[in-house]
Structure 1
Amino acid sequence: MTSLTVAVPHEQLAEDVRARLDPSLDIDVVLWDGADAPPRERIDLVVPPYMRQGRMLARLGEIAPRLVQGQAIGFEGVEDRLPAGIVYANASSVHETATAELTLTLILAAQRRLDVVIRNQERATWDSIGTPGLADRRVVLLGYGGVGRAIARRLEGFEAELVPVASRARDEDGLRVRGIADLPALLPTADVLVNALPGGAGTRRLIDDAALSALPDGALLVNIGRGPTVDTDALVDHVRRGRIRVASDVFDPEPLPADHPLWSLDGAIVSPHMGGRSDAMRPRIARLVAEQAERLARGEEPVNVVIRT
């Protein structure tokens, strides 16, 4: 029997993890996506499928793994589905860069009105429009965790004023991070409001009608955190009236129904929850899984632990 068994959901990840493992350690990588019975009676480290981990979480009691390594940063609702005695780690270090890239893409696309430009291209219409741009704009960044910090680093070269906001005020990375209690006073000053908050009861509909009403006319909301953080009905109302604009990667509900007004409203850019879906994910998730396996094999504590049931 091997000293440690790792289960991953597909062969590509298995190959990538095997290529990164220390050959001096006795670690076996097997395939399991949760659809069928576990391939071993004992599996030490389980990696559920990306964005579809519910089926596997329901079967963890059959093998009682030492660690479950998720492939996403978010983990809201996971604890309620885990049996007792499970340790769960999220995928911090995997998606921050790609999510920050998409955030800047959404900001720039909206601020330079590429949504209008692309529609004009489809009609072969030459219309050199003026746009708000990003330079000299105030960006209020709601959330200053791993993703928020990655966004802040990428905003440095755009000559915009950055105001990060987190649960508590502090000085970090040479920036003055404001506390969440300051948000009502900051919203009327925001040209761009970026939501990078995690999900959960504490952030649900934090950006409600009152918050959206506090934004100045023409402001842009960019949501790359979680869909339920925003009151969707209130958002639709504000965008429909031309009060504000939105460029969002996450929604409530999700997937966004085909008949939802956000698909067709002027001033709305819809991105289908693809923040972490860049080619950078493949080597980064493999590196993290290999590191976790090696830590367990050496008797060390895993990183990124967010839940212990």
Structure 2
Amino acid sequence: MTVRIPQVWLPAQFARLADLPPGLEYARWDGRSAFPSDPAEVVFYVPPLTQDIGVISRPLPRMTRLRAVQALSSGTDELRTQLDRIPRPVTLCNAGGAPAPGTAELALILASLRGIPESVRAQPGGAWSPQVSPSLYERPVLIVGYGAVGSALEELLVPFGCAVTRVAGTDRDAPRGPVRSVAHLPRLVADADVVVLSTPLTPKTRQLFDAFMLARMKDGALLVNVARGAVVDTDALLKETHEGRLRAALDVTDPEPLPPGHPLRAAPGVLITPHVGAFTTSLWPRLEQLVRRQLSRFAVGEELENVVSR
């Protein structure tokens, strides 16, 4: 009788990941080449780190023994939709706090407030136009989505003496102060000079910042989105930025990738980066530590960390 060894697929980027638990067979896949083994034997899948859901989901229909998927991102909305089509329970875990430091570090607040995009655009033409720009010091900042990214961002804001207000799904207490529920958002957003979105994309948060919520923001306020593009109504944001009433700094957009010639690219006061918040050299060691912990738990039947759905 042939013994079937449970298989694990890891991203090709984890080629040097060692000290993995025994009793499992490991293969690496880069998302582009042929499958490294029979997908039907895979029980634990760590997809390649890519924003292309087509690459991530390609082997899923053939993974008939799949029991767990460990995403390498905090957001799992598209992957969850793909797993919902599988007619058996599969545990989906996200990356938890691993991407949080890089995403919080990006946040784009200082670059936008200090007019860095305008200076970069002026550089090739030789323009020299000094301006007085807003300061971040002691400004009221609203963080919408107070999880790993939101709390990491607040730690970075501490030296600036910002008055931080925290918003999440429900009222609760956090080490640095109370977290208010999203029901208070229409009132709280009106008091903030900077609004940072770091909330997961769910049916409740899709276009949370619509025309009504954007209209509630202060004149001259800055909207920063490091969550998901669909948390913001793009058309409503375009209207506010073209009128010069709001500025925006976006690491994520809707649609994404943002097509060439999209009006958001030329909107005044808008800074865009191509969804790179989490991608720093320090991300890989944290992801490797997470995957090693998860596989150790899986091998002995323990509950996995960062479970977002089954």
TM-score by length of 1: 0.90
Once the two structures are overlaid, the 10-residue window that deviates more, 149-158 or 28-37, is: 28-37
* Aligned residue number for residue 21 of structure 1: 20
Residues 2 and 28 in structure 1, CA contact (< 8 A), matched pair in contact too: no
AA in 2 matched with 1:94: A
Distance 1:120 1:77 in 2: 38
Task: Tell me the residue number matched to 1:69.
Answer: 70
CA contact (8 A) 2:96 2:306 kept: yes
- Structure 1 residue 182, shift from structure 2 partner: 1.4
Q: How many residues align?
A: 301
2:240 is matched by which residue type in structure 1? H
Amino acid at match of 1:80: T
2:122 partner letter: N
Residue aligned with 1:163, SS: strand
Distance 1:185 1:211 in 2: 10
Amino acid at match of 1:42: E
Structure 1: distance between partners of 2:296 and 2:6: 9
Structure with greater contact order relative to length (CA < 8 Å, sep ≥ 6): 1
The answer (yes or no) to whether the contact 2:220–2:245 under 8 Å persists in 1 is: yes
Q: 119-128 or 164-173: which moved more? A: 119-128
SS at match of 2:248: strand
Quote the Cα distance in structure 2 between the aligned partners of 1:306 and 1:8. Answer: 20
Match of 1:237 in 2: 239
Identity, % of aligned pairs? 37
- Structure 1 position 250 matched with structure 2 position 252: yes
Summarize the Cα distance change of 1:14–1:58 in structure 2 as closer, same or farther, 3 Å threshold.
Answer: same
Q: Taking structure 2 as the reference length, what is the TM-score of the superposition?
A: 0.90
Contact preservation (8 Å) 1:99, 1:147:
yes
Unaligned runs of 5+ in 2: none
Counterpart in the other structure of 2:213: 211
CA displacement 1:116-143 (0-9 Å, x = unmatched): 2222322222222101110121101111
CA distance in 2, matches of 1:214, 1:61: 45
Q: 1:83-98 residue pairs with structure 2 within 5 A?
A: 83=86, 84-98=88-102
- The 2-side partners of 1:204 and 1:60 are apart by 26
Correspondence for 1:39: 37
Aligned: 1:154 with 2:156: yes
Asked if 2 retains the 8 angstrom alpha-carbon contact of 1:58 and 1:81, the reply is no
Q: Which amino acid aligns with 1:162?
A: V
Consecutive unaligned residues in structure 1, runs of 5 or more: none
Pairs within 5 Å for 1:144-183 = 144-183=146-185
Among 197, 200, 224, the residue aligned to 1:198: 200
Q: In structure 1, which of residues 125, 128, 131 is the aligned counterpart of residue 127 of structure 2?
A: 125
Q: Deviations over 1:188-243 (max 9, x none)?
A: 21101111111121111110111111111111000111111111011011101101
CA distance in 2, matches of 1:97, 1:80: 27
Aligned-partner residue type, residue 102 of structure 1: L
SS of the counterpart of 2:41? coil
Q: Which amino acid aligns with 2:143?
A: L
SS of match in other structure, 1:295: helix
**SS, match of residue 179 in structure 2:** strand
